[in-house]
């Protein structure tokens, strides 16, 4: 028996590990958590590099675990879709047992690391992984409302960074959560639109009406409008009695954030007008740039004013 064929090379395992944990997505989620952390600290002098590193590692472990559990549950469905049929678990390169062990280790490590930042951070991390794997994933083949459930764990990272920095869930943390929560809908409905046929093969209906129609496009516009409103809320905090908050936007930054929202709204209207996959793909890409730039503007405004 050739044992070389039984034990995959380290490079192959590394590639498969990146796939089952969805490294690109996980890194973007960690970036959101880091952004929230910077918004939560008072200034650069209060920056704790150890906590920041723990947040990044613990956050990656939790997101990677969620993605691995998701692929274990959906391994048979992944085989039906072109974009997922070559995933390590679906393709048989990693067994379900090995994947479960990896996911369990990541979960345990992530919770321990986040708990050592503070218990609230670990609690929200645990809520995120539970909702994603135990509620959102099973609902994907049952109802389009799964996107609403999935938007909750998807919105936690931005808030998680704030909680890691402050050990407190407050109006500011809720605002960060609301921004990323509302952002999920135009982003994932755009994905659901241009991947509609592929999702259909596995019985996933991610669009709110179940169709690529005008009503879905209209809802994308509405959620984008609500997102724009939520994104500029910190600019009015001093006027509603929230004085001395670490989360605040200057008028110039609020205008920049507002214009970023208008940029995304334009692409939402293009999808409403054209109702085609190219417009949906463009909106998805713009939404990724939008949330990244928004977080960078928030951070720059905090430390440069």
Calpha distance 153→253 (Å, rounded) = 27
What's the average model confidence in pLDDT over 200-215? 94
Containing domain of residue 43, as a range? 8-169
* 187 and 164 co-located in one domain: no
pTM: 0.93
Q: What is the mean pLDDT of the chain?
A: 94
Q: Could you read off the pLDDT of 263-283 as tens digits, one per residue?
A: 999 999 999 999 999 999 999
pLDDT recorded at residue 6: 53
pLDDT recorded at residue 1: 42
* 15 and 160 co-located in one domain: yes
Q: Which of 169, 198, 227 represents a domain boundary (last residue)? A: 169
Total domains in the chain come to 2
242 CB-contact burial (10 Å; exposed 0-12 / middle 13-18 / buried 19+): middle
Q: Which residues contact 56 (CB under 8 A, 6 or more apart)?
A: 30, 33, 34
Calpha distance 116→19 (Å, rounded) = 28
Q: Residue 33 pLDDT > 50, yes or no? A: yes
pLDDT recorded at residue 205: 85
Q: Could you read off the pLDDT of 148-206 as tens digits, one per residue?
A: 999 999 999 999 999 999 999 989 999 999 999 999 999 999 999 999 999 999 999 89
Answer yes or no: is 229 within a domain: yes
pLDDT > 90 fraction of the chain, expressed in percent and rounded: 90
Q: Could you read off the pLDDT of 49-75 as tens digits, one per residue?
A: 999 999 999 999 999 999 999 999 999
pLDDT recorded at residue 243: 75
Q: What is the 3-state secondary structure (H, E, C) of the chain?
A: CCHHHCCCCHHHHHHHHHHHCCHHHHHHHHHHHHHHHHHHCCCHHHCCHHHHHHHHHHHHHHHHHHHHHHHHHCHHHHCCCCCCCCCHHHHCCCCHHHHHHHHHHHHHHHHHHHHCCCHHHHHHHHHHHHHHHHHHHHHCCCCCCHHHHHHHHHHHHHHHHHHHHHCCCCHHHHHHHHHHHHHHHHHHHHHHHHCHHHHHHCCCCCCCCCCCCHHHHHHHHHHHHHHHHHHCHHHHHHHHCCCCCCCCCCHHHHHHHHHHHHHHHHHHHHHHHHCCHHHHHHHHHHHHHHHHHHHHHHHHHHHHC
What's the average model confidence in pLDDT over 77-104? 95
Q: Residue 4 pLDDT > 70, yes or no? A: no
Q: Which of 4-13, 138-147, 222-231 has the lowest mean pLDDT?
A: 4-13
* 214 and 256 co-located in one domain: yes
* 163 and 193 co-located in one domain: no
Answer yes or no: is 235 within a domain: yes
- How many C-beta neighbours within 10 Å does residue 211 have? 13
Q: Residue 109 pLDDT > 50, yes or no? A: yes
Confidence of residue 8 (pLDDT cuts 50, 70, 90): low
Q: From residue 250, give the alpha-carbon distance in Å to each of 244, 296, 301.
A: 13, 14, 7
CATH number at residue 81: 1.10.357.140
- Inter-residue contact 295 to 158 (CB < 8 Å): yes
What's the average model confidence in pLDDT over 133-155? 95
Q: Which residues contact 244 (CB under 8 A, 6 or more apart)?
A: none
Calpha distance 178→255 (Å, rounded) = 19
pLDDT > 70 fraction of the chain, expressed in percent and rounded: 97
Calpha distance 39→247 (Å, rounded) = 6
């Amino acid at each position: 028996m050739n044992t070389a064929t039984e034990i995959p090379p380290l490079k192959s395992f590394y590639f498969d590990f990146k796939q089952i944990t969805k490294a690109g997505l996980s890194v973007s989620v960690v970036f959101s958590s880091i952004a929230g952390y910077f918004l939560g600290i008072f200034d650069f002098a209060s920056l704790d590099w150890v906590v920041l590193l723990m947040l990044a590692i613990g956050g990656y472990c939790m997101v990677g675990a969620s993605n691995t559990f998701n692929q274990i549950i959906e391994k048979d469905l992944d085989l039906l879709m072109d974009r997922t049929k070559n995933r390590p678990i679906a393709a048989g390169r990693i067994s379900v047992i090995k994947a479960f062990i990896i996911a369990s280790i990541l979960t345990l490590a992530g919770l321990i690391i986040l708990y050592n930042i503070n218990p609230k951070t670990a609690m929200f991390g645990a809520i995120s992984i539970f909702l994603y794997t135990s509620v959102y994933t099973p609902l994907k083949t049952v109802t389009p409302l799964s996107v609403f459930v999935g938007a909750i764990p998807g919105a936690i990272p931005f808030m998680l960074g704030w909680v890691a920095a402050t050990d407190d869930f407050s109006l500011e943390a809720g605002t960060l959560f609301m921004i990323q929560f509302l952002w999920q809908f135009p982003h994932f409905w755009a994905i659901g639109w241009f991947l509609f046929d592929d999702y259909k093969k596995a019985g996933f209906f991610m669009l709110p009406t179940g169709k690529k129609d005008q009503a879905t496009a209209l809802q994308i516009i509405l959620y984008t409008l609500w997102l724009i409103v939520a994104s500029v809320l910190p600019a009015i905090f001093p006027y509603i009695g929230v004085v001395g908050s670490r989360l605040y936007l200057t008028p110039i930054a609020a205008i920049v954030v507002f214009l970023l929202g208008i940029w995304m709204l334009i692409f939402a209207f293009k999808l409403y007008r054209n109702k085609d996959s190219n417009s949906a793909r463009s909106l998805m890409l713009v939404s990724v740039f939008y949330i990244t730039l928004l977080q960078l503007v928030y951070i720059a405004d905090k430390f440069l004013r």
